[in-house]
Amino acid sequence: MPEKRSTELRWRTALSVCSTLVCFGCNGGSMSPPPPPPPTLQVDLVPFASGFSNPLDIQQAGDGSGRLFVVEQGGRIKIIQNGSVLGTPYLDVSALIVSGGEEGLLGLAFHPNYSSNGCFYVNYTTTRLSGTLQTAISEFRAATPGANTVNTTSENILFTVNQPESNHNGGGLAFGNDGFLYIGLGDGGGAGDQHGTIGNGQDTTTRLGKILRIRVDCNGTYSIPADNPFVAQATAAKEIWLYGLRNPFRFSIDHASGNLWIGDVGQNSFEEVDRLTPQQGGANLGWRCKEGTHNFNFTSNCQTATLLDPIFDYDHSQGDDTVIGGYVYHGANIPALAGNYIFGDFISGRIWSLAQNGQGQWVRTFLMNAGAGDLASFGQDANGELYVARYSSGAVARLHQVGTP
């Protein structure tokens, strides 16, 4: 879940105040104000569908159906088809999960061969398996790929991860160009990556604070890709692809380049955006040694580690507090944003583009404000157009260039 933290638990605070938060400015919180948007580019949000309960994710199945699948925190996935929300949920796991705060049904990804095998994957929190809080990564299978409902009895749990706290569960899922499933898990929660001698983010014996990478073949099991970076280390978790993350609630893979883009939620001071090529498996993204590009708990183990800084970070001075990772834009309706990374902030509601200038510097440009406490996730349809899941409003909206049909 996205979160809000000053010195207490950020997300629980945000739930109680998000309806009264105001925007403190429109230039974000980087150390120097970002440039204004191009004068010819005005972007807004067009209502697309409504009636959802705390939507957290938007995905499409890649099956040519045009359907969008909206994940609700409470455990239901609903379908938008031909502009209408279908009355019966696609999947309802509300009886299987723990929901509230940063817990719930947090992520969804469809198998690259969904149009033939009907398999998809979800990320949720639960206590039903062990009596204690766990993250479950599960596979479900539609009776036919075109079905608009899926029975929960088709579930196969691939694996679970014990969660020591209720926050920092991560939640994202995505398939890479390599056909493997990538999974985002937070550092186990509390504050400051408090568990373990070096923190879970830096500890390769745990799957917490990591991006994982596994092979799934729509048979209820998974395996470890042979080129995962820690397969030869006896004590390491073999699923690890990247480590040193705090709470990668939302990430995406740009299928044009294969690059992985992560919005990693920060502690008290900085939010970060990471971009990694397919060749950078095994990278240490720094948490808890660093928060963004700044030292956080930089102890002796950090001094000998090779840490990869984010391509961009921003501070909280402008009222931004929880990064929401998005997508590289490949749609046709907003040509000026082609190739730009679109992301935002849950607490302020601001949405930005991020692109390199002629000198190779990453420049953030303000696009619009979606409303404080209302920007939970981005989604991308089969044509590359982008959507926003509006948490408080219970709606889905589409990014739109003002003045175009």
Residue 262: which CATH number? 2.120.10.30
User: What's the average model confidence in pLDDT over 223-237?
Assistant: 98
Q: Please, which pLDDT band fits residue 73 given cuts at 50, 70 and 90?
A: very high
**CA separation for the pair 129, 344 (Å, rounded):** 35
Q: What is the DSSP string of 280-309?
A: GTT-B--TTTEETTEESS--HHHHTS-BPP
pLDDT at 403: 82
| Residue closest to 21 by CA, chosen among 395, 392, 399, 271 | 392
Residue-number span of the structural domain to which 237 is assigned: 10-23+51-322
Spell out the residues 6+ positions from residue 16 whose beta carbon is closer than 8 angstroms to its own: none
Q: Please, which pLDDT band fits residue 41 given cuts at 50, 70 and 90?
A: confident
Residue 171 lies in a domain: yes
Least confident stretch, 16-25, 86-95, 109-118, 265-274: 16-25
pLDDT at 329: 98
Predicted confidence (pLDDT) per residue in 157-205, tens digit: 999 999 999 999 999 999 999 999 999 999 999 999 999 999 999 999 9
Least confident stretch, 35-49, 216-230, 317-331, 387-401: 35-49
pLDDT at 405: 75
φ, ψ at 375 (rounded to 5°):
-100, 95
Residue 373 lies in a domain: no
Q: What is the DSSP string of 330-394?
A: --SS-GGGTT-EEEEETTT-EEEEEEE-TTS-EEEEEEEE--TT-EEEEEE-TTS-EEEEETTTT
Answer whether 92's CB lies under 8 Å from 104's CB.
no
pLDDT at 24: 25
CA 404 to centroid of chain Cα atoms: 29
Q: Which residue has the higher pLDDT, 8 or 63?
A: 63
pLDDT at 404: 82
Q: How many residues does the chain have?
A: 405
pLDDT above 50: residue 259: yes
What are the Cα distances from residue 10, in Å, to 17, 143, 269, 273, 405? 11, 40, 12, 19, 39
**CA separation for the pair 157, 45 (Å, rounded):** 37
pLDDT above 50: residue 8: no
**CA separation for the pair 107, 126 (Å, rounded):** 14
Residue 269 lies in a domain: yes
Residue 349 lies in a domain: no
Q: Amino acid identity of 125?
A: T
Residue 313 lies in a domain: yes
pTM over 0.75: yes
Could you give the number of structural domains in the chain?
Answer: 1
**CA separation for the pair 371, 21 (Å, rounded):** 9
Q: Which helix (H) or strand (E) holds 247?
A: none
Predicted confidence (pLDDT) per residue in 76-129, tens digit: 999 999 999 999 999 999 999 999 999 999 999 999 999 999 999 999 999 999
Residue 85 lies in a domain: yes
Residue 29 lies in a domain: no
Predicted confidence (pLDDT) per residue in 351-402, tens digit: 999 999 999 999 999 999 999 999 999 999 999 999 999 999 999 999 999 9
Structure tokens at 403: 């003045």
Predicted confidence (pLDDT) per residue in 279-338, tens digit: 999 999 999 999 999 999 999 999 999 999 999 999 999 999 999 999 999 999 999 999
Spell out the residues 6+ positions from residue 365 whose beta carbon is closer than 8 angstroms to its own: 34, 35, 36, 37, 38, 352, 353, 354, 355
pLDDT at 39: 52
Residue 393 lies in a domain: no
**CA separation for the pair 287, 188 (Å, rounded):** 13
In the chain, % of residues over pLDDT 70: 90
pLDDT at 38: 52
